[in-house]
Structure 1
Amino acid sequence: MTKTFSASLLVAGLVWALTPVTPASAQQSAAPLPSNQKGCLPAPTSTESGTPWAQQRLAPDRVWSLTKGAGITVGVVDTGVDAGTPQLAGGRVKRGVDVTTPERKPADDDCFGHGTFVAGIIGAGSRRGTGFSGVAPEATILPIRCAVASQDGSPPSLTATEMANGIRAAVDGGAKVVNISASTSVPDDGLEEAVRYAASSDVVVVASAANSAQQGDPVTYPAAYPSVIAVGAIDESGKKADFSQTGKFLSLVAPGVGVTSVGPRGAGHWLGSGTSYAAPFVAGVAALVRSYHPELSAEQVKHRLEVTADRPAAKVPDPGFGWGTVNVTAAVTTVLPEESGTGLPVVTAELAPLPPSAQPGGAGPLLAVGAAVSVPILVFLAFLGSRLVRSGRTRGWKPARVVEFPPDPRK
Structure 2
Amino acid sequence: MGPLFRNAGLPTYHEAMLFVRMKPQPRQPSFEATFAAARTPLSSGLQALCYYERAGLVKRVTPVSREAPHYASRMLVRPTRNAGAKPEVLGVPDSDIEGWSAPALNMNAAIDERTPGGAASLVELANDVDLRQLQLALAGDPTVASVSRVPLRYLVARSPRKPAGSSSRKSSPGSRGRIAAAPPPAHTMWNLRKIKWDEARSLTGFDDASGVKVAVLDTGIDAEHPDLKDQIGGYVYEHPDLPAASSAQDLVGHGTHVAGTIAATINNDLGVNGISRARIHAWKIFDDRPDLLTYPDGTAEFAYFVDPVMYLRALLDCADAGIDIVNLSIGGAGAPDPTESAAFEELLANGTTIVAAMGNERREGSPISYPAATPGVIAVGATNLQDRITTFSNRGNHISIAAPGEAIWSTLPTYPGQLSWRAERGPDGRWRQGKADIRETEYDAWPGTSMASPHVAAAAALYIANGGARDPAEIRSALASSADKVAGMGGQDFTPDFGYGRLNLEQLIGGGIRARNSDDD
If the length of structure 2 is used for normalisation, what is the TM-score?
A: 0.54
SS at match of 1:94: strand
Match of 1:323 among 456, 479, 500: 500
Check whether the contact 2:247–2:288 (CA below 8 A) recurs between aligned residues: no
How many residues are matched?
307
Q: 1:108 to 1:121 in 2, by over 3 A?
A: farther
SS at match of 2:233: coil
Match of 1:304 among 478, 497, 503: 478
**Is 1:265 aligned to 2:414, yes or no?**
yes
Larger radius of gyration: 1
Give deviations 1:49-83, integer Å, cap 9, x for gaps: 32221112123232335021110010001011111
Superposition deviation, residue 95 in structure 1: 3.3
Structure 1 counterpart of 2:420 = none
Structure 2 counterpart of 1:54 = 191
Structure 2 counterpart of 1:75 = 215
Superposition deviation, residue 284 in structure 1: 0.5
Structure 1 counterpart of 2:233 = 94
Q: 1:340 to 1:183 in 2, by over 3 A?
A: farther
Check whether the contact 2:191–2:404 (CA below 8 A) recurs between aligned residues: yes
Give deviations 1:273-310, integer Å, cap 9, x for gaps: 01011000000100101111254422211211111111
**Is 1:154 aligned to 2:302, yes or no?**
yes
Q: 1:172 to 1:96 in 2, by over 3 A?
A: farther
CA distance in 2, matches of 1:139, 1:337: 21
Stretch moving more, 106-115 or 279-288: 106-115
Check whether the contact 1:112–1:148 (CA below 8 A) recurs between aligned residues: no
**Is 1:233 aligned to 2:407, yes or no?**
no
SS at match of 2:234: coil
Check whether the contact 2:246–2:286 (CA below 8 A) recurs between aligned residues: no
Q: 1:301 to 1:130 in 2, by over 3 A?
A: same
CA distance in 2, matches of 1:119, 1:81: 8
Check whether the contact 2:215–2:325 (CA below 8 A) recurs between aligned residues: yes
**Please, what is the CA RMSD of the aligned residues?**
3.2
Structure 2 counterpart of 1:27 = none
Give deviations 1:67-121, integer Å, cap 9, x for gaps: 211100100010111111111022x113322276537999864121110000000
Q: 1:322 to 1:122 in 2, by over 3 A?
A: same
Check whether the contact 2:285–2:311 (CA below 8 A) recurs between aligned residues: yes
Structure 2 counterpart of 1:185 = 333
Check whether the contact 2:215–2:281 (CA below 8 A) recurs between aligned residues: yes
CA distance in 1, matches of 2:511, 2:343: 31
Check whether the contact 1:98–1:105 (CA below 8 A) recurs between aligned residues: no
**Is 1:110 aligned to 2:250, yes or no?**
yes
Give deviations 1:33-60, integer Å, cap 9, x for gaps: 59579xxx95892321322211121232
In structure 2, runs of 5+ residues without a counterpart are: 5-158, 162-171, 292-300, 416-440
Superposition deviation, residue 242 in structure 1: 1.2
Match of 2:356 among 192, 207, 214: 207
Superposition deviation, residue 162 in structure 1: 5.0
Letter in 2 for 1:54: N
Superposition deviation, residue 132 in structure 1: 2.4
Superposition deviation, residue 315 in structure 1: 2.5
Structure 1 counterpart of 2:48 = none
Q: Which has the higher helix share?
A: 1
SS at match of 1:69: coil
Stretch moving more, 232-241 or 288-297: 288-297
CA distance in 2, matches of 1:74, 1:187: 24
Q: 1:134 to 1:224 in 2, by over 3 A?
A: same
Give deviations 1:12-41, integer Å, cap 9, x for gaps: xxxxxxxxxxxxxxxxxxx6459579xxx9
Stretch moving more, 254-263 or 97-106: 97-106
- Whose RCO is larger (CA < 8 A, sep 6+)? 1
Stretch moving more, 73-82 or 170-179: 170-179
Report sequence identity in percent: 26
Check whether the contact 2:371–2:377 (CA below 8 A) recurs between aligned residues: yes
Q: 1:130 to 1:338 in 2, by over 3 A?
A: closer
**Is 1:139 aligned to 2:278, yes or no?**
yes
Superposition deviation, residue 159 in structure 1: 5.9
Q: Which has the higher strand share?
A: 2
SS at match of 1:154: strand
Check whether the contact 1:182–1:208 (CA below 8 A) recurs between aligned residues: yes
SS at match of 1:265: coil
SS at match of 2:364: coil
Check whether the contact 2:467–2:512 (CA below 8 A) recurs between aligned residues: no
CA distance in 2, matches of 1:340, 1:134: 26
Q: 1:32 to 1:182 in 2, by over 3 A?
A: closer
Structure 1 counterpart of 2:152 = none
If the length of structure 1 is used for normalisation, what is the TM-score?
A: 0.67
Structure 2 counterpart of 1:45 = 180
**Is 1:276 aligned to 2:450, yes or no?**
yes
Give deviations 1:184-204, integer Å, cap 9, x for gaps: 211123322221111011100
CA distance in 1, matches of 2:267, 2:514: 38
Superposition deviation, residue 222 in structure 1: 1.2
Check whether the contact 1:260–1:269 (CA below 8 A) recurs between aligned residues: yes
CA distance in 1, matches of 2:357, 2:375: 14
CA distance in 1, matches of 2:404, 2:457: 13
SS at match of 1:96: strand
Superposition deviation, residue 244 in structure 1: 0.7
SS at match of 1:87: coil
CA distance in 2, matches of 1:74, 1:221: 20
Structure 2 counterpart of 1:367 = none
Match of 1:195 among 313, 338, 344: 344
CA distance in 1, matches of 2:213, 2:184: 28
CA distance in 2, matches of 1:33, 1:335: 36
Q: 1:67 to 1:155 in 2, by over 3 A?
A: farther
Give deviations 1:325-354, integer Å, cap 9, x for gaps: 11101111126999999xxxxxxxxxxxxx
Structure 2 counterpart of 1:288 = 462
In the TM superposition, what are the counterparts of 1:355-394 in structure 2 within 5 Å?
Answer: none
CA distance in 1, matches of 2:451, 2:368: 19
In structure 1, runs of 5+ residues without a counterpart are: 1-30, 342-411
Check whether the contact 2:212–2:279 (CA below 8 A) recurs between aligned residues: yes
CA distance in 2, matches of 1:318, 1:198: 28
